[in-house]
Amino acid sequence: MATQLSRNFSLEELCKSQTAERRGIDNSLDPARDAQIVANLRRVCEEILQPTRDHFDVPIVPSSGYRCLELNRAIGSKDTSQHVNGEAVDFEVPGIANADLAAWIESNLDYDQLILEFYMPGQPNSGWVHCSITGGENRHVALTINRDGVTEGLLA
């Protein structure tokens, strides 16, 4: 039985990883044992994913939510990634340009870090949006990451 984190998002959905499946990595969480991480993922769903889904009225399938340390290292991410603590999600909204999605989040939601990743102007479906939120005071850091490196602010 699925553990619902918000009306449209489940714990299993936020732990699903094609990379973990291919490499035989257990990326699951136990709600009792991993209560803080599950609480963080619930916050991500309630304050980032669900409001975004409600606004655009389109189903969203996160591409990356929680990552255990083994999975995080397997994809080459830093141990300090907020994905490891269940505080971040990577996603797209079908039919919405990722630059427009990032701009909407920046203007309408409370977030810790918002990154428009590998978006190429003129190619609305390129890249993805990374968004994180904490249980404390959010920094509201907006960045763009592309082949040229990291730039402060959202560039489109």
H runs (alpha helix) in the chain = 11-15, 18-23, 35-44, 50-56, 69-74, 98-108
Sheet containing strand 128-132, strands side by side: 88-91, 128-132, 113-117, 141-146, 149-152
Structure tokens at 34: 């991993």
Q: What is the pLDDT of residues 51-96, one digit of tens each?
A: 999 999 999 989 999 999 999 999 999 999 999 999 999 999 999 9
Residue 54, token pair as written in the block: 């409600």
Looking at residue 124, its pLDDT comes to: 85
Q: Who contacts 27 (Cβ-Cβ below 8 Å, separation ≥6)?
A: 15, 16, 17, 20, 66, 67, 68, 71
Q: What domains can you pick out in the chain, each with its CATH number?
A: 7-152 (3.30.1380.10)
Which residues, 6 or more positions from 94, have their beta carbon under 8 angstroms from its beta carbon? 58, 59, 60
- Three-state DSSP at 137 gives coil
Tokens representing 50?
A: 């669900």
- The reported pTM is 0.94
**pLDDT digit string (tens) for the chain, length 156 residues:** 689 999 999 999 999 999 999 999 999 999 999 999 999 999 999 999 999 999 999 999 899 999 999 999 999 999 999 999 999 999 999 999 999 999 999 999 999 999 999 999 889 889 999 999 999 999 999 999 999 899 999 986
| Alpha helices (H) along 57-131 | 69-74, 98-108
